[in-house]
Structure 1
Amino acid sequence: MEWAVRDQHAKIVSMSLGDSPTDGTDPLSEALNPATAKRPERRVVAAGNSGPEAYTVGTPAAADAALTVGAVNGPGKGVDQRADFSSRGPRVGDNAIKPDLTARVWAFSPRARSRRRRARAPASPWTAPR
């Protein structure tokens, strides 16, 4: 995160990485919070692929400063219904609202070997504010 902002002058940092559900006080979430507070750029983070159960938003998507994005289905798959794989809130511990928003899954991955894997690509890169 710091490299992208400090050395590359990024205005938006989009991340699709994560781990187990958390209350946002884990080391990765904590690293995201102060970095965002000091600078104006946004950290856009995919909610994760641990749905459809509640309380499945992991780190760093659980960070207070993360603009956390969940996925909804695109055309032909129950349009505008939350994708079954998308992690869901609320956040573990304090029941804070996460994800902050949802977006249709319109990601493309030339390396994906199947339609299912392409469909599970993160929505966050496509929802970053421009």
Structure 2
Amino acid sequence: MNEPTGQSSPGSARILVVDDDALVAMSMVSLLEDLGHSVVEATSGAQALAIIQGDAAIDLVITDQSMPGMSGTELARAVFLLRPSLPVMLATGYREVPEGSELRLPQLMKPYDDEAVGKAVTQVLSRTEPR
């Protein structure tokens, strides 16, 4: 894991990856680090919220939708209460996300490839106001 950079440019962001599946998380972390990002991992929504409360340098949250205890959309709602300007991207294999659809979260459709992740992250970060 890389040290925090505090930078929020699309080429070098600090990204929190939230997924309860260790293999999926490891793959995403590796991919994001290869793209030049600094990555923090969480295996649950509760762990992610604790990280967000203690790490002001997070630029983007990428979360799985289907997790035990707290879904990705439930996590997004909680994130927006803590940090309204922090973008959240939902990684999902479902075309439609019934709960939380009013949030209009950017979605990364599974299965995804390196190019799709890079493009999605760049698009989300380019829409974010610098902090």
TM-score bucket (shorter structure): 0.3 to 0.5
TM-score computed with the length of structure 1 as normaliser:
0.41
Indicate the structure with greater helix content: 2
Determine which structure has more spread, i.e. the larger CA radius of gyration: 1
TM-score computed with the length of structure 2 as normaliser:
0.41
